[in-house]
Amino acid sequence: MKKIMLATDFSERSDRALRRATLLARQFGASLSIVHVVDDDQPRRIVDSEHDAASALLRELQSTVQEVDGIPCEARVVLADPFAGIARAAEEETPDLLVIGPHRRQALRDVFVGTTAERTIRSVTCPVLMVNAPPMGSYGHVMLTTDMSEGAERAANVCRALGISRGAKVSVLHVFDAPALHLVMGHAMPADERQAYLEDERKEASRDLAAFVKSVDWRPIRQDVRQVRNSPAEEILTAAKEGSADLVVVGTHGRGGLGRFFLGSVAEAVLRRADCDVLAVPPEAAP
């Protein structure tokens, strides 16, 4: 990892992202690029005022990162719609990793859908690290999620290539479904048949997971399969909490059906609700 980009709005949430970005930059000897976007769909005097204020704050951040943290750093203000500005900057600078703060959570309404974070993740081609937890050091437990798709395979390969799991405990999770139990006859299935069916599904899921791990040359300390009881996202978050994972890795596009991992489904739900950091890996850009 040679270049990290941080998108900041100067909030406390972005401060967490800045801290994680500087930790990673120091760990890998990478440079840091800090971007702030000023919405240009405003009266000109407001745009100019916000641009000047943001430029001053960025100069302070840049100076701190360079002089205190000893990290090569650039900073700039972009005039655009917030998500479009971040996406444009990422396209121009081609960072190895884009780091952002978490979305705002509200008690009565989840405002993640359609917001800058979600739209940014949809739009960029580089992996995006959403920093939810206060950074305390290098990651200790990285949990990869897989639906056995090409998207999950790419997520594993990108995570390994970034080196972000180096030195951490690594586990891999596959959430499987038991489709017969959703059918009408499933409710009438005798308990012993039901248990035998679930055991067969679990064994098949375990075999599939072992084959996936071998194919991506991922060396986890643990391979975990879980049956979907409520939703795949809930199973992922429960597994992360039980295993004290501080980074969950998801592919943003995957298989169709229950196991799909594209924004609008499992990956989005994980990003919305995770308390730990989440690395979202998009599909490979088309030539």
Q: Are residues 45 and 118 in the same domain?
A: yes
Q: Which residues contact 167 (CB under 8 A, 6 or more apart)?
A: 138
Q: Residue 137: is its pLDDT beyond 70?
A: yes
Q: What is the CATH number for 180?
A: 3.40.50.620
Mean pLDDT (whole number) for 17-36: 96
| pLDDT grade for 261, boundaries at 50, 70 and 90 | very low
Domains: count for the chain: 2
C-beta pairs of 215-218 under 8 Å, 24+ apart in sequence = 215/153, 216/153, 216/156, 216/157, 216/160, 217/160, 218/144, 218/156, 218/160, 218/170, 218/172
Q: Give the tens place of pLDDT for each residue, 139-157.
A: 999 999 998 888 889 999 9
Which of the listed residues 112, 131, 150 is the one where a domain comes to its end?
131
Q: Residue 198: is its pLDDT beyond 80?
A: yes
Q: Are residues 115 and 149 in the same domain?
A: no
Q: Give the tens place of pLDDT for each residue, 32-89.
A: 999 999 999 899 999 999 999 999 999 999 999 999 999 999 999 999 987 789 999 9
Q: Are residues 116 and 171 in the same domain?
A: no
Q: Are residues 65 and 198 in the same domain?
A: no
Q: Residue 178: is its pLDDT beyond 60?
A: yes
Q: Are residues 100 and 151 in the same domain?
A: no
Q: Which residue has the tokens 């039980």?
A: 242
Which of the listed residues 111, 131, 151 is the one where a domain comes to its end?
131
Q: Are residues 82 and 37 in the same domain?
A: yes
**What pLDDT sits at residue 115?**
64
pTM greater than 0.85 (yes/no):
yes
Q: Which structural domain, as residue segments, surrounds residue 224?
A: 138-287
